[in-house]
Structure 1
Amino acid sequence: MAPSLLHQETTDGDVISRIFLVRHGDRFDYANPSWVDSAKKSGCLVTDPPLSALGHRQASETAAYLQKIIKENTPNNEDNEEGGSGGIHKILVSPYLRVIQTATPTAHAFGIPLSIENGLSEAHATATVLPTPHQRFAYFPMLDPNYNSLLNVKPTPGFYCPKTGFACEAFAGRYCQRMETFARCLERTHYGQTIVMFSHAASVALVAAFLRCSMTDLKFAPCGVYHLERVNDGPWKIVQSGHDNTSYVKENSPTTYPWGFSGKYFEENDGKYFGSSEGIDLDYFVGAPDNCNL
């Protein structure tokens, strides 16, 4: 069952941690299938497509929406140590182009740099093949090229990305384990802060890792926003679901749609690991222990 939405009661002196997790906008390659062949001929990484024109519009609309809801949820709204304003302490982004593009309007809106966080990487993540933060900085000056990622993704022996052939992390088992580790580390590193993170559809697993709930009914819309809160060291609660974006995004495409996990992503066959042999399934995060194995 999907978690219910609620606001938590607080008192003076309580420490509130807030997370806003955003999926990237509409993908250019999904809207324009011929891009993949053209990208291959040009030597481009086909797993790193840009946003479509629609995706850029969605990103701008989402930035305006985040300004509104973060202001509503952080009434003191004071400048923070990052030099920005509006109640955000950090903006963390996946290293993929479409995610950086989605996050850029929010960085401009709040005046806070983007920090590339490898822990937010896409499924089938392949280490070392994406441009570095320093290389991205030439085109995205709102990036902080000196940020040190909390988590780095390691390839799983014997696994290769189905689209590129590069060694990659096993999906969905190792990916979910990464989300569990990453959630616990975010709790520790950003305790009492408000952070905004931009990632991919599969990061609904990160939502489940915080809430310790099943992934069964969780979906993530393009530019969907999950808002989670925690009081002191209590459990995380969901304030807003990211399964729908229609209250602030004017247009969607059928090619980039709300996505969620199903059991097939964990089922193993022909001796190939996907998670089920280790008990990793849709309910993996229910009652999971606290771990932060960096």
Structure 2
Amino acid sequence: MSQIIWIARHANRLDFVNPDWFLTAERRYDPPLSEDGFLQAKQLAKRLQDEKIHHIFASPFLRTVQTANTVAEVLDLPIKLETGLSEWLNPEWMDEEPERHPIRELVQIYPRIDTSYTPLIAAKYPETNAQVRARSGQTARCLATDYSPENILLVGHGASVNGAVLGLAGTNTYQAEKVRLCSLFKLVREHPEWWIELKGDTSHLTEIEEMVRLN
């Protein structure tokens, strides 16, 4: 029986558009989507609206929750927050463990969040590139197995998207690359093999960024 795993990077973030936001932000490493980021998320949702997706999993960072929520509203699905899909907790980007918006606050704003879901994999600061790939890859494999044969959507970050794809397809099939904002991967399994049907697709977006950044 086949299974489809969709994997998306979050849409554009406010601090990419307005770097000065970082200087006064209460939670410097947990920015929201930018105005055009919300538009990208809507375009992603439109792309996925006719797909048979049964579950949505998202990193607990605000930008991934907002991206996932936009899709969830169109698909009429809850959102399961999975820390294994979190941002790369890179000490070169972050001088301290990132403070995220508390789950209780997120649930008030985004009631589609499933508070009964317990994350499978932890993300611990600081971590190396190898560690983020390992934990996001493990997360993708665990979710694919636990929810098989249902189709799922994972919403993560540049590094965790790479790790998730690598974790399913393997290094012989996929070499890590810079992942564009709000781009989409589609992996299909005919037991036991996975193959990549879409890789970093941005055809649903009216605009894509000129400079591709991992974080």
* Equivalent pair of 2:133/2:162 in contact (CA under 8 Å): no
Taking the aligned partners of 2:121 and 2:165, their CA distance within structure 1 comes to 17
Identity of aligned residues (%): 29
Q: CA deviation at 1:259?
A: 4.4
Larger fraction in strand: 2
Taking the aligned partners of 1:20 and 1:198, their CA distance within structure 2 comes to 9
Q: Does 1:91 align with 2:64?
A: no
Q: CA deviation at 1:152?
A: 1.9
* Equivalent pair of 2:62/2:100 in contact (CA under 8 Å): no
The alignment yields a C-alpha RMSD, in angstroms, of 2.1
Match of 1:46 among 23, 28, 47: 28
Segments of 5+ residues of structure 1 without an aligned counterpart are: 1-14, 71-86, 156-167, 261-294
Return closer, same or farther for 1:128/1:259 CA change in 2, 3 Å cut-off. closer
Q: Deviations over 1:159-210 (max 9, x none)?
A: xxxxxxxxx1312122122123223312321221100111001121210111
Q: Deviations over 1:20-63 (max 9, x none)?
A: 00100111101101101121xxxx11110011101000000110
Question: Aligned residue for 2:145?
Answer: 188
Match of 2:113 among 143, 147, 159: 143
Taking the aligned partners of 1:182 and 1:67, their CA distance within structure 2 comes to 25
- The alignment's TM-score, normalised by the length of structure 2, stands at 0.88
The residue identity in structure 2 corresponding to 1:231 is E
Question: Aligned residue for 1:121?
Answer: 86
Q: Does 1:55 align with 2:37?
A: yes
Question: Aligned residue for 2:166?
Answer: 208
Segments of 5+ residues of structure 2 without an aligned counterpart are: 91-95
Q: Does 1:198 align with 2:168?
A: no
Match of 2:17 among 8, 31, 34: 31
Runs of at least 4 residues off by over 6 Å? 125-128
* Aligned length, in residue pairs: 208
SS in 2 for 1:37: helix
Q: CA deviation at 1:151?
A: 1.5
SS in 1 for 2:111: coil
Taking the aligned partners of 2:167 and 2:14, their CA distance within structure 1 comes to 30
Taking the aligned partners of 1:137 and 1:206, their CA distance within structure 2 comes to 26
The residue identity in structure 1 corresponding to 2:143 is L
Taking the aligned partners of 2:97 and 2:106, their CA distance within structure 1 comes to 16
Question: Aligned residue for 1:236?
Answer: 194
Taking the aligned partners of 2:177 and 2:24, their CA distance within structure 1 comes to 34
Name the larger-Rg structure: 1
Q: CA deviation at 1:146?
A: 2.0
Taking the aligned partners of 1:248 and 1:31, their CA distance within structure 2 comes to 21
Q: CA deviation at 1:127?
A: 7.0
Larger fraction in helix: 2
